[in-house]
Amino acid sequence: MENVGTDALKYVWKGAIPLQIHLHDSEVTTLPPPPPVLMLASRIGYLPLLAPQMKPLFNSTLPPGDDTVWFEYKGLALKWYIPTGVLFDLLCAEPERPWNLTVHFRGYPSNTLTPCEGEDAVKWNFINSLKEAAYIINGNCKHIMNMSQSDQLELWRSVLNGNLESFLKVTSKLKLGAIDDDYTTKLYPSLKACSDAGNTDNPGLAKTGRIPVRLYARIFTEVFDDLEDAPEVDSWEKISYINRPIGLDKDEGKCFTLSDAMKTLLPEYFGEGIINNEKTIEMEVKEVDSEDASDTNLTEEVSTSVGEHTKSKQSSVGAEIKLIRIQGIEPKSEIPFSWVVNNLMNPDHYLHICVYLIHVQPSSL
């Protein structure tokens, strides 16, 4: 049976964000200055991939020098390896349409951003993320490592072009099946059939029972009622970037919800405590495949940017989740996590979750 994906997954792949992109004033050498560029950016894509469309429109006004494209939003340099939709969901408390970004072709902030040498860097970052996800799901990443050059090319082109059908055709060989659970199979029997048809030796996530998750948490220490009153982000140090797999709870008769997942991801805020002896997936992948892990600096950066929030073993009281946003959707906390994973996962097979958390420390007398 042809693997065509769920209706929700099709909407995710078609998702786009309207952008209004301005060239930074310091790089304008002509009068009048060039007008901003209006374009649609794929939610599952990456900002540097927009450069070939923009460069011809700004080329005549740029100062001499080599191109090193990077973007900023309200003074914050944007991390190029985070999907565009995730950046939008994370930084725009109230969705801004069009999203006003500033583009630079000079003065790359190497002290803030890891180097990006064009499309190849984005491609290999994506492949390495997929490799990490495969290791979480299957306990190894051999299918990614053994991909043919033609499959790699088709996979990457499918992401570039938003071609879900082509993407599923390639990934069916990688044994990265959907979660096999009662809720999903009742709602989407075709999803189970498709998964089983192309994944006979690894149905669902049976090997490890773990879900690849990247969580981006904005943690506020002051209460606010409206999202438009949320403080702006002026530094990445104000965002906790957590790469922590989730093991599904298989208790009979109990539905593992998005709320349960959040408690697993942020145990220090919900009285669960830090999981003892937990090894980050980056450490595991390095042990298994240290040579290829060096293809990107992302692994190293993720492991050092989780922040002090996840280092404390003392649980907190009074934390409130103000917002959860995934693929531009704000799902209810009681939604089954299996549905979220099967329908809202990014092409790198990570579930990217943005959360706004209010945590007011009790005053000490």
pLDDT of residue 251: 65
What integer pLDDT is reported at residue 185 of this predicted model? 58
In this prediction, residue 360 carries a pLDDT of: 82
Residue 173: partners with Cβ closer than 8 Å, 6 or more residues away: 143, 147, 151, 198
What is the spatial distance between Cα 16 and Cα 45, in angstroms, rounded to a whole number?
9
Alpha-carbon gap, residue 248 to 241, rounded angstroms: 21
| Structure confidence at residue 302 (pLDDT) | 40
Length of the chain counted residue by residue? 365
How many whole angstroms separate alpha carbon 85 and alpha carbon 224? 24
- Please, what are the averages of pLDDT over each run of 10 residues along the chain (365 residues)? 70 97 97 96 98 94 93 97 98 96 96 93 97 94 95 97 95 82 56 43 53 96 90 94 85 80 89 43 49 41 39 55 96 92 95 94 62
Question: What pLDDT does residue 248 have?
Answer: 78
Tell me the C-alpha distance between 70 and 111, whole Å: 13
Select from 45, 109, 133 the least CA-distant residue to 82: 45
The pLDDT score that the predictor gives to residue 326 is 98
Q: What pLDDT, on a 0 to 100 scale, did the predictor assign at position 193?
A: 44
Q: pTM of the full predicted structure?
A: 0.85
